[in-house]
């Protein structure tokens, strides 16, 4: 059911496991079969139950201390192959594999995650783009072999809010390209 805040009507369907392919889903829970939703806002934990979750628009919002585990996430056809994950607050764990969808490569875009964690083997074949925030990679195959990695940092302070990744690039990138950029300094 869409939720009404009194200011605007948010078109989010909760619980997410009742959402259809054109619904913007919200919540947590467990999948009992493969499912396609338009976009997903995670609250708490989602157990994919070994199934595939297709996010048609590619939009995924991870809020609070949220996690998605035990399955595979793929971007849908209308997303142009991009899975774009926005995060906020405490920590956001992707414990599910991210894979290419039939017919197109998947590109993973992580936007301003406070503390994003990639902990599972991923097989997508597109680029990995990290736009600010902090991302922790806990295993060597969490960034797929051959992925191009782009780090677009909010700051160049590796000890502060602009921290992105903590391992050395040669350990993370195997046969891919690496690009890092910072915004221009104000005069």
Do residues 120 and 97 touch, judged by C-beta distance below 8 A?
A: yes
pLDDT digits (tens, 9 = 90+) for 13-25: 666 667 788 888 8
Q: Where are the domains of the chain?
A: 3-181
Q: What percent of the chain has pLDDT over 70?
A: 68
Number of alpha helices (DSSP H) and beta strands (DSSP E) in the chain: 1, 12
Higher pLDDT, 54 or 116: 54
pLDDT digits (tens, 9 = 90+) for 57-91: 988 888 777 888 899 999 998 888 999 988 764 56
- Supply the Cα-derived Rg of the chain in whole angstroms: 16
Q: pTM value?
A: 0.77
Between the alpha carbon of residue 17 and those of residues 23, 42, 70, the distances in Å are 11, 12, 15
Q: Are strands 24-30 and 12-13 parallel, antiparallel or unpaired?
A: parallel
Q: What is the pLDDT of residue 178?
A: 56
Do residues 111 and 135 touch, judged by C-beta distance below 8 A?
A: no
């Amino acid at each position: 059911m869409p939720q009404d805040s009194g200011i605007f009507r948010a078109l989010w369907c909760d619980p997410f496991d009742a959402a259809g392919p054109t619904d913007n889903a919200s919540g947590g829970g467990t999948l009992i079969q493969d499912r396609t939703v338009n976009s997903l806002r995670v609250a708490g934990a989602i157990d994919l139950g070994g199934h595939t979750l297709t996010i048609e628009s590619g939009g995924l919002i991870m809020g609070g201390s949220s996690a998605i585990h035990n399955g595979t996430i793929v971007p849908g056809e209308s997303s142009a192959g991009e899975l774009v994950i926005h995060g906020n607050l405490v920590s956001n764990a992707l414990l599910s594999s991210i894979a290419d969808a039939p017919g197109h490569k998947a590109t993973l875009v992580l936007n301003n995650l406070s503390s994003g964690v990639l902990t599972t083997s991923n097989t997508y074949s597109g680029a990995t783009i990290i736009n600010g925030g902090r991302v922790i990679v806990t295993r060597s195959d969490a960034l797929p072999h051959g992925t191009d990695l782009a780090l677009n940092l909010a700051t160049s302070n590796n000890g502060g809010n602009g921290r992105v990744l903590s391992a050395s690039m040669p350990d993370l990138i195997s046969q891919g390209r690496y690009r890092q950029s910072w915004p221009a300094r104000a005069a």
